[in-house]
Structure 1
Amino acid sequence: MSAAAPLLEVKGVTLQYRVGNVAVTATYRVDFNVEQSDRFVILGASGCGKSSLLKAVGGYLKPTEGSIKIGGRAINHPGADRMMVFQEFDQLLPWKTVRQNIVFPLLATRKLNAREADDKAMHYINLAGLERVAESYPHMLSGGQKQRVAIVRGMAMEPEILLMDEPFAALDALTRQRMQDELLALWDASRFTVLFVTHSISEAVKIGSRILLLSPHPGQVRAELNSLPRPQDPVASVALQDKIHQLLFPGEETAQS
């Protein structure tokens, strides 16, 4: 009996964009697969093309070479099967409450009626512990709360894969750690599939069950680390961070995040 096909297949993907008359190569022949319920992290330094890869998976950027498929279907445009969470705080509609921000895309797809959309929104609001701010407007929320709402809005759409582009990068260190914990708690509750981009080694180790390491510009696969447990003690975490740092930056001695 053959193994099930991966949820997401990225094969030989080269991405280019133009700066004036010059073609800049962001990634070169990148391959990876994402399985159902993976917490798959793309890790690399700034400029390695990891955000460009996420945009290509989202259908916003067409590969120059190679293919991207989800569920065996070629990705040619954005779709509700792939929801994206960005790092910017201002992803929410300022004139709508938290509940209304989550309901809005559910209604826009025309798959649910108003009551069904509201029930689903409240389910995810409760799951994320946002009940107390459900009727608050974005300007009344902290940065961490806004990001939590953006994540929950994506989850409520129940996409095949949730795409996260450095979603916690603009938060202060303590809020960032709390949001990482909350993302993992949400994943434990519903086991959604997430493709997460970061330049932080420590964040990749904390979030990822699998980590793809990209070389500096243009991004090429340097290594893939699979079946990673969540490090339960600081020593194991630091050891894994050191290993990743050595793979990304040969010749340097200590991990840096």
Structure 2
Amino acid sequence: MDVNDDAGNLKPNGVFRFFASKLAPTKNRTELRILPTSFTEAACINPQAFLVNVAICDRAFCFMQTWSNSAILERVMALRQELMPPHLCETKVARLANLAAQIDGADQDQTRDQLAQFNREAMTDLTSLDFPGIDEAQDHDTWVRQILMGPYERRLKDISQPEMIEMARRVMDADIPEHATCFWLQMLALNIPDARISDLFIWPGEYFGDGDDARELIPEQVIETALKNDF
């Protein structure tokens, strides 16, 4: 890739947190019993209790929906297929990860066959120099997934700002696997003219030049800032 080649190898720092991990207040909470197997059966057994439980559930749903609309509990939009990490064959990933572990740091002459097999199956043209030190930065499974996803990381002419914001939101989601995070980070790097966009996620202090890497930006701020700059 020509744009920000190291973007796919960067992992966001720990300052981003998914707010859904914070529990909602439990004071004066009404305990809900497990209802019978159908709403009809429940209503017949105890109509008054059934109506009370439905009312409580309805209020809980409205509360969750309010938080959802604030983009705190869940993402606000789905991404089209072109913006999603590809589905990978898990057997292939495991086999390539095993080969990578054998090649990583080993003598080049002793792993020529493994390297040839890796390149053949992954459809790559890597050399043994591309493998040393992989396990120091990330596990071989994640590294292999990034290699296999590389061909799917590309520029799109019709990408929209809301889609960029959603990808940024997912990059910030600590619950998303690292390889998927790296995919969306690389997609942003390829589709936004600001080649330093990864710094907005990882080292915002470096980006703004004030050294404040503890700064927490929301996805909208990240994208709006990056779109204003063309370094």
Q: Mark yes or no: TM-score above 0.5.
A: no
Give 1 or 2: higher helix fraction: 2
TM-score scaled by length of structure 2:
0.29
Of structures 1 and 2, the larger Rg is shown by 2
TM-score by length of 1: 0.27
